[in-house]
């Protein structure tokens, strides 16, 4: 009995550990590591990228002698304080496009977790059969190199001297900037109500702005309130216009009587730089067949813009704002160097969009 029970317990423990080993996908991982098929080779590369095992990932490139290792790493980990430097590869989808037995193309959709939210990147990867396994043929665009130059800085800046915390009512103070919501449109989407529109700073000083929207019942009571969060340019220079968008997930227009809009403005320190030019704006379909507004961003200032954020408002033929979409660009904007962007919009909206207006928000890391 004593041997039987002891052996049974040892055996059962080992069996249970083995079951869990299988369940945790270890076998699958082992299979992928053999890179027997094109998509397994890509999966292996991406799994190594995900775990930041750069040496192993680089060793898996068929053309490693032609690919600069730093350049390869920067493709995933970013540089110049761009959004990629705040991102980590969280997951990926891989599916083969075509293969001729020696060369194959695999499409990947990389899901990054970033400091501003999730970010997807679709990329087609060439794979080559080499020996017993498939290896990745990596193509990286050369990183732009800036010529040494001196760019004079003569930008405008506003500073504000705030009152203290003491309540000194009736004493001279500087009023909040005058801002005005110039348009508002409530749009029903399948899963939500979306309030879109534009706001302008009518004052002669910069304004911090935020737009709140409250859905109201017929009796005027509030149903819920949301704000524009990052779907707005919060700092508006004098006479600058920003699109805004407020989402109400789970609500339908039939549930509400009206919407109360509330534009908050504050006087804040601000700078007139950087100026970003948006060139080559076009509505077109991307590689996945989705309608996007694409173009290039050109930083006309001398400092690097680390994270650009594109906000686009779309108008129908009557000039009414019908949609606002946004997107973060994962590359930094070097001075005078175009960087492409694309923000998507629903197909049904695209068919009504007559024209559009793009505004660029920016994050400049003061420490960089």
Partner 1 sequence: MRTVITWLLCSLAAAMPATAAELHAPKDIAAGTDFSITVNGDSHGTFYLIGPATAEKRSVENGSEISIPGTDIEKAGNYQAILCSDECVSTEFYVHAAEADRLSLLVHPSRVPVATTNAISAVAIALDRFHNIVFSHAQVDFSVNSNNGSSASHAQPTNRGIAWIRLTSAAKASSAKISAAVGDTTETRVVEQVASEACNLHIKSYWEANHLVVQTDPVRDCSGNNVPDGTVVSFTKTDRSGKTTVDAPIKKGIAKAEMPVVGNARISVASGVVLGNELNVGGAR
Partner 2 sequence: MDTSFFRRPIPLTASILVALAIHGPLLMMELPLKTSYDANFHVFFASHYAQHWFNPWNEKWFAGFSQTTYPPLGHQWVAMFSYILGLPLACMLVYLIAILLLVVGVYRLSRLWVSERASSYAAFLTAFLGTITFLVYSAGQLSTVLSAPLYLLALPYFYDWSRSADGRALLKGVVLTLVAAAVHHVTLIFGSFMFALPVLWLACIDREEESSIGKVIGRGIVFAILAGIGVAVVLAPYWISLIKHPIEQVPIPHASRSNFLLNIDYAINYFFIPYGALLLAMPFVVWIGAASRRLRPLMLGFWVAFLFSLGGTTPVPKWLLGRAFEILTFERFTLLAALLALPIVGVLAEMLLDRYKAAAAVGLSAAAVATMAFAMGWITWSPYRPDSSLDVNPVINFMDRDGHDKYRYLTLGFGNSIPKISTYSHANSVDGEYNSARLLPEFTHYGTAQLTSAKFFGTAGMESLRAMLEHANKYGLKFIFVHDPYYIPLLNFAGWRQVEIFDSGQITVWAKDDVPPAHPIPSDAKPTALEGILWGTLPFGFSLLAILLAIFMRDRADASRNLVEFPAITQEPVFIPEAR
Partner 3 sequence: MKRSLRLLLAVAVLFVASGYSAAQSSPSVEFNAANAGPRSVEDLTSQTVPRDYAFAWQNLSQALDENRPGLLDAYFTGFAKSSLEQRIKQQAQSGLHVRYTDHGHKLNVLFYSPNGDLMQIEDDAQLEMQILDGGKVIQSQPLHVRFMVLMTPGADRWMVRDLESTPAPRSGE
Within 10 A of 134 (CB to CB), how many other CB atoms are there?
Answer: 28
Q: Rule CB under 8 A: say whether 225 interacts with partner 2.
A: yes
156 contributes a contact to partner 1 by CB under 8 A: yes
Shortest reach from residue 100's CB to partner 2, in Å: 36
- Contact status, residue 185 vs residue 319, Cβ threshold 8 Å: no
Residue 3 engages partner 1 in binding (rule: CB under 8 A): no
55 interacts with, out of partner 1, partner 2, partner 3, none, CB within 5 to 8 A per kind:
none
Based on the number of CB atoms within 10 Å of its own CB, is 254 exposed (0-12), middle (13-18) or buried (19 or more)? exposed
Compute how many residues bind partner 1; rule: CB under 8 A: 38
Size of the site for partner 3 (CB under 8 A): 4
Torsion of CA 239, 227, 268, 232, to 10 degrees: -40
CA–CA dist 10, 105 (Å, integer): 48
> Of these, 11, 26, 97, 288, which contacts partner 2 (CB under 8 A)?
26
- Distance between CA 26 and CA 156 in Å, rounded? 59
**Residue 223 within binding range of partner 1, rule CB under 8 A:** no
In the three-class reduction of DSSP (H, G, I as helix; E, B as strand; rest coil), residue 66 is classed as helix
Among 332, 359, 362, 363, binds partner 1 (CB under 8 A): 359
Burial class from Cβ neighbours inside 10 Å (0-12, 13-18, 19+) for residue 330 reads: buried
- Residue 169 makes contact with partner 3 by CB under 8 A: yes
Number of Cβ within 10 Å of residue 93's Cβ equals 12
Residue choice 100, 131, 132, 167 for contact with partner 3 (CB under 8 A): 167
Does residue 281 belong to the site contacting partner 1 (CB under 8 A)?
yes
What gap in Å lies between CA 281 and CA 173, rounded to an integer? 43
Q: Report the residue number, 256 or 324, with the smaller CB distance to partner 1.
A: 324
User: What residues make contact with partner 3 under the rule CB under 8 A?
Assistant: 167, 169, 220, 260
User: What residues make contact with partner 2 under the rule CB under 8 A?
Assistant: 1-6, 9-10, 13, 16-17, 19-21, 23-24, 26, 83, 86, 88, 90, 111, 113-118, 165, 208, 210, 212, 225-227, 229-230, 232, 234, 264, 266, 268, 306-307, 309, 361, 363, 365, 367
């Amino acid at each position: 009995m004593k041997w039987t029970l002891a052996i049974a317990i040892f055996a059962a423990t080992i069996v249970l550990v083995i079951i869990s080993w299988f369940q945790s996908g270890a076998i699958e991982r082992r299979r992928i590591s053999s890179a027997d098929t094109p998509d397994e080779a890509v999966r292996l590369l991406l799994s190594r990228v995900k775990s930041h095992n750069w040496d192993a990932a680089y060793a898996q490139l068929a053309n490693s002698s032609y690919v600069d290792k730093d350049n390869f790493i920067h493709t995933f980990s970013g540089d110049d304080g761009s959004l990629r430097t705040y991102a980590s590869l969280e997951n990926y989808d891989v599916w083969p496009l075509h293969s001729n037995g020696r060369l194959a193309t695999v499409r990947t959709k990389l899901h990054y977790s970033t400091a501003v939210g999730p970010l997807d990147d679709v990329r087609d990867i060439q794979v080559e059969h080499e020996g017993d396994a498939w290896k990745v043929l990596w193509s990286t665009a050369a990183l732009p190199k800036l010529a040494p130059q001196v760019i004079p800085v003569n930008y405008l800046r506003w500073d504000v001297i705030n009152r203290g915390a003491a309540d000194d009512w009736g004493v001279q103070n500087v009023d909040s900037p005058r801002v005005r919501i110039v348009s508002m449109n409530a749009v029903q989407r399948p899963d939500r109500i979306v309030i879109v529109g534009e706001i302008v700073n009518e004052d002669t000083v910069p304004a911090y702005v935020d737009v709140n929207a409250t859905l109201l019942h017929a009796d005027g009571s509030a149903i819920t309130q949301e704000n524009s969060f990052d779907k707005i340019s919060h700092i508006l220079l004098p006479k600058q216009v920003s699109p805004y968008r407020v989402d109400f997930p789970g609500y339908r227009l039939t549930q509400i009587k009206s919407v109360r809009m509330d534009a908050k403005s504050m006087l804040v320190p601000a700078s007139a730089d950087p100026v970003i030019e948006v060139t080559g704006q076009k509505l077109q379909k991307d590689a996945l067949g989705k309608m996007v507004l694409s173009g290039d961003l050109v930083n006309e200032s001398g400092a690097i813009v680390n994270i650009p954020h594109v906000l686009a408002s779309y108008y129908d033929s009557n000039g009414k704002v019908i949609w606002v979409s946004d997107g973060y660009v994962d590359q930094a904007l070097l001075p005078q160097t175009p960087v492409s962007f694309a923000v998507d919009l629903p197909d049904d909206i695209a068919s009504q969009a007559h024209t559009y207006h793009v505004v660029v928000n920016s994050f400049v890391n003061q420490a960089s």
